[in-house]
Structure 1
């Protein structure tokens, strides 16, 4: 069958006029359509957000979402480069309690003002709001908030005649790990972050250092990594992973350890409270009915033993689609989104830590036995008092200054080298101390 070959010449004048009118009528709609480019990380909660986002696009046909999903360390690098060079590649960025106050202070982020009344900002946990604010102004909306906690396999503990205390010590954790490691069965006593990065291995290692009595800097901004407290903490951590951890631990971050724990390879895991919803979800975890939980361990002081973090959504000032971006950010962090996630994945897996109404919800209480515990951990983490000794910075698992990204990652690489058996503890901490000292000296913190 021969296909008709239509051109504008073959159309009668009346049809041509109608076509011109139709194109003219559609032009304003096309012009109004805004693209919102979202840079976020490849963790389960953010993947779920992308999965559910067609509901937002359906309700907002004039907004098109474009996703850039990156590994955590890469996201941090890309977001920082974009915001500091005014590139304007992204309209929404997933950032945390480290970046939001600093970037807000520098005028790099659009303030989160004039939110819709039904957003109910007062429902958002105060700790979360405070952590994302500078001078009382909110610069990002929390997608989920986390502290850290200890997960363990109740069945393995029972079989070995062990009992996990509500507040374990690191000495007890080591004893448990030694008893529960059976490498011939592919069973490891403990899984911990080993992947280099200021927000990967150093998030965990910093809390170990805190509770062992250490600090990053003294009151005069002199680096304190080459001290007995750091030596004890890093030696303990690296020995624990070498003796009782999985092979290749220096490559494992949050996602890798989540996979190991949920597939039954780890007897214990100390990490973010956000993982609770994933570990208790039968669709995602092979050990959902075997998971117990306790507080993050302590050593010589309880100060700084558990962190405070919020993966949040912020809008760079360079965004050309700020109104559309704000619509998306408010939707993604709203009560309605939590209901949508609950319908899709179950109440145990909704983004935690953000809203009081979630923790008051009877369905959430029933599905998430860890809920009240997690909220308490979040509310008790104190970024302003995270060390037994006096410190000049804020932050539990990070130092709240712009330079930390750089030297924190350098130290993370040195400590990953210790875990991999390539670098002695002494050499790693001497190099880390020099890097931290050099960074704060160049930035003018040291007098």
Structure 2
């Protein structure tokens, strides 16, 4: 996948189930090359770091020897793998406390139960001593999502994202339409109907219909949350046939069937990004990371896109939250050196380094408040920087809907078995999008799957 079409985070996670202590989660991949290992120069300690092969990670790998190892004497041996392989490997290693890897890129999906199982080393003492790192600069929801139930911090974000609505300003002007500053989903549906066909071949909106717990389930669950639904109540009773979940799913399926992209049942993040870039759709609800590609210097729609917060219904906000973050294995014997690496890789200085060496559009953003006051970054990201920051800062992972939940999570339910459950449910709903069954039938089958998974959590 081209560098400018980064697939950060949520939209690429397609998992299998987790059994006992080992999470066997997989996904569609996150762009970039294949697996590799490399070491930096210099003397002293050595660290083994396992990373997903996202472009930002491989860029960090290239910068480490000259900009970290030379200063600290700490060699860094990287293992860089596609996300499905990396998730399987770091979970096996951390769950067994085998100690092969000192650091791994984990997400806010893993942190709560990794911390609960005692697989991660708390980072609070390092944060307290390392004033230059400036923990207060980390966006609140990011820090909260990487904090365990015991109140301890277990990971630091490398980059983060939320979700928002992107729309073609020129097509809206052509049809004399105005996008509200804070749209509701009903307003979006009405606008999709009016802008559909604004120019030949243009559809009203693109929404993911591709099966996967990190593909279609991510945006759909945010719609469920704001329309009053939830996967589970606070006692792990499945709610997929409840009024809120059913209302949201019918709305989503109807909208994409009436005014969505062609082949919606097989369209995920990448397909919607391509449709938006190629001028085939007037609106797109998805990850804030997509804006970087739409505003790239070679993008045909650069400067034509407007950005507004994730549409709502019953809640004030509805954007999701995702981050790839650095976690230290509790069994690691190199925890001090591991913190030095994390402090560098997630520090303000690293963002400046990337901006100057590679380009400001490549900065791993979405984690620090200071990024959004950096004039160099804002010069390249002015169209979407402020709304991205506000989208991330405005979410509440513990209370994303209108009722209590058994576990944190906005676009996912944070328990190991959700990787398998979410994927199976998405297959049923994708079938409804394809017109092969009704939403009611899809949710009836999904409810049975969710009940079984919920009983295991009880």
- What is the TM-score normalised by the length of structure 2? 0.80
Mapped to 1, the partners of 2:269 and 2:67 lie a distance apart of 28
CA contact under 8 A between 1:303 and 1:385: conserved in structure 2?
no
- Equivalent residue for 1:21? none
Per-residue deviation, 1:165 = 0.8
How far apart in 1 are the matches of 2:139 and 2:402? 27
Question: Where does the alignment leave 5 or more consecutive residues of structure 2 unmatched?
Answer: 1-40
Write the distance in 2 (CA, Å) between the matches of 1:257 and 1:75: 26
Asked whether the 8 Å contact 1:63–1:324 carries over to 2, the reply is no
Q: What is the match of residue 80 of structure 2? A: 68
- The structure 2 residue matched to 1:36, chosen from 27, 48, 65, is 48
TM-fit CA distance, 1:409: 2.6
The alignment status of 1:341 with 2:354, answered yes or no, reads yes
Residue 142 of structure 1 and its aligned partner are, at CA, apart by 0.7
Q: Over aligned residue pairs, what C-alpha RMSD do you find?
A: 3.0
Please, which of 425, 430, 446 is the counterpart of residue 432 of structure 1?
446
C-alpha separation in 1, matches of 2:192 and 2:271: 19
SS in 2 for 1:203: helix
Aligned-partner Cα distance in 2 for 1:183–1:318: 59
Q: Is the alpha carbon distance of 1:84 and 1:186 closer, same or farther for their aligned partners in structure 2, counting shifts above 3 Å?
A: farther
Q: Shift of residue 70 of structure 1?
A: 1.5
> Shift in Å at residue 231 of structure 1?
2.0
Deviates further, 392-401 or 377-386: 392-401
Offset at residue 273 of structure 1 (A): 1.9
Q: Say which is worse superposed, 363-372 or 378-387, in terms of deviation.
A: 363-372
Counterpart among 415, 437, 441 of residue 455 in structure 2: 441
Alignment of structure 1 residues 14-413 onto 2, 5 Å: 34=46, 36-42=48-54, 44-50=55-61, 52-53=63-64, 55-56=66-67, 59=70, 63-71=75-83, 75-86=86-97, 90-112=101-123, 113-115=125-127, 116-134=130-148, 135-182=150-197, 185-283=200-298, 285-299=299-313, 301-303=314-316, 305-319=318-332, 322=335, 324-344=337-357, 346-369=359-382, 370-413=384-427
Offset at residue 114 of structure 1 (A): 1.9
Give the C-alpha shift of residue 124 in structure 1.
1.8
Tell whether the 8 Å contact from 1:210 to 1:303 is kept in structure 2 after alignment. no
- C-alpha distance in structure 1 between counterparts of 2:67 and 2:433, whole Å: 44
Partner SS, residue 122 of structure 1? helix
C-alpha contact (below 8 Å) 1:261/1:269 kept by paired residues: yes
User: 325-334 or 222-231: which moved more?
Assistant: 325-334
CA 1:51–1:260: 2 relative to 1, 3 Å: farther
> For this pair of structures, how many residues does the alignment match?
412
User: 1:240, CA displacement in angstroms?
Assistant: 2.3
TM norm structure 1: 0.81
Gaps of 5+ in 1: 1-28
Which structure: larger Rg? 1
Is the CA contact (8 Å cut-off) linking 1:304 and 1:385 kept in structure 2?
A: no
Give the corresponding residue for 2:10. Answer: none
Q: Is the 8 A contact 1:178 1:244 kept in 2?
A: yes
Contact 1:196/1:412 (8 A) holds in 2: yes
**Greater Cα offset, 45-54 or 235-244:** 45-54
Contact 1:250 1:416 in 2 (8 A): yes
Q: 1:315 to 1:401 in 2, by over 3 A?
A: same
1:20 corresponding residue in structure 2 = none
What CA deviation, in whole Å up to 9, does each residue of 1:412-435 have, x standing for no partner?
232233233344322221122111
Work out the CA distance in 2 between the residues paired with 1:146 and 1:30: 35
